[in-house]
Amino acid sequence: MTFILKGNIIYNNDSNSLNLLESGYIVCERGFSKGVFEQIPAEFSGYPVVDYGDKIILPGLVDLHVHAPQYSFRGMGMDLELLDWLNTYTFKEEANYSDLDYAKKAYTYFVEDLKNGATSRAVVFATIHTPATTLLMELLEAAGLVSFVGKVNMDRNSPSTLIEESASQSLIDTEDWIRKVSLKFKKSKPILTPRFTPSCTDELMRGLGQLQRKYNLPVQSHLSESKGEIAWVKELSPNSSCYGDTYHQYGLFGGDTMNTIMAHCVWSEGIEETLLKENKVVVAHCPNSNMNLASGIAPIRRFIRNGIHVGLGSDVAGGTSTNMFRAMADAIQMSKLYWRLIDKNDPPLTVPEALYLGTMAGGSFFGRVGSFEKGYQFDAIVIDDHSFATPKELTLENRLERIIYLANEHHVFEKYIQGRKVKEKVNEINQ
């Protein structure tokens, strides 16, 4: 875990900066970055050097919102909107995870995909089934990936095959799971996961808030993804000031002592947007899913301008791929549509901003993660982009843009997480 990587290094210090260094050196010491250098400093001269030649070295990418049990049907049902898609595909598939043999087969495919791709860290939804959720955590741990994983809570408005017996039983099962996995795993940690307000009674939400305070856990859920969902929440919770308030009133919506991720926030505005900012809630922007399910165009530039923390999510299987480069490209393209069709005062995202969203912004949920600055945990991906043939002379920034738009798991040559190599080099890079 102490070594030096040599190659073409690209990373952010903040959302607007892009650090580019040809044939530079990154020093890893005991799993942490000691910095990026043009020449190896004397104090590190004895460290072994891995020379990646003309390849690109980036920080590992971070997926803030992905549904592991939905991986098996990605690319299906894309002609439906959210609520119909959940009932037609999602709930039926997630019920299968009561079968541990099925869960093992399905989750193995999912974890192998993450391991081979550019993602180094992920925040993951599982299902209501505690044995299968624990199995998923075992597989992620063995693969060397760092994750937060949630046993889903849902006790209403769900099929009989995918609903918990009661709020009290859901809370008992969740607390028992928290106690067991908190001691068992080092890299895979629990996160409280009320699926969304329509599937959770007030009693369940209240109890999850109590568990959060007891165990000081982070929280993940969904917020204002589609207009149909928002209207349903208004019917179920008529006394709440907004959708976000249905979480906030039970202590599940961020604050000074809690990290909360809310996926989507496509239609968040007014009071809800203020709550997001005041409570430091992290928005997981999932542009591919928002297009596929016709949910809408999230106001990401406005969120950033107003001081709301934003990262990226793949949202498989609303999104069709775990490829976080795809999420970056989609975020840029969706921001162009927002600028063109909705608000000319909100310019599109830039390439440096897209890289920041997929690395440092999402990485901060895990601590000092997502950059090669000194003191950051050492997550790195080595990208071989030689198959993107061109007669042009390209700058490193040109190459980064092409990687964002063109790269997939086949271009991830090697990968390091917390200073440990988790993906070895391959013999051939395919387009």
Q: How far apart are CA 345 and CA 100, in angstroms?
A: 51
115: which 2 tokens? 């391991």
3-state secondary structure of 414: strand
Rounded mean pLDDT, 283-305: 98
Q: How far apart are CA 168 and CA 201, in angstroms?
A: 11
Where are the chain's structural domains? 3-58+371-423, 61-366
Nearest to 202 by CA among 156, 234, 164, 158: 156
Which superfamily does 61-366 belong to? Answer: Metal-dependent hydrolases (3.20.20.140)
pLDDT band (50, 70, 90) for residue 431: very low
Rounded mean pLDDT, 78-87: 96
Alpha-helical runs (H) found in 307-357:
324-341, 351-356
pLDDT band (50, 70, 90) for residue 354: very high
pTM higher than 0.85, yes or no? yes
Q: What stretch of H or E contains 134?
A: helix 130-143
At residue 427, the pLDDT reads 45
In degrees, rounded to 5, the angle at the alpha carbon of residue 291 between the alpha carbons of residues 262 and 15 is 55
Is residue 192 predicted with pLDDT exceeding 70?
yes
Crossing angle (nearest 10°) for helices 396-406 and 324-341:
90
Give one DSSP letter per residue of 198-221, joined into a string: GGS-HHHHHHHHHHHHHHT--EEE
CATH number for the 3-58+371-423 domain, one of 3.40.1280.10, 3.30.70.120, 2.30.40.10, 3.10.580.10? 2.30.40.10
Number of other residues whose CB lies within 10 A of the CB of residue 182: 12
pLDDT band (50, 70, 90) for residue 1: confident
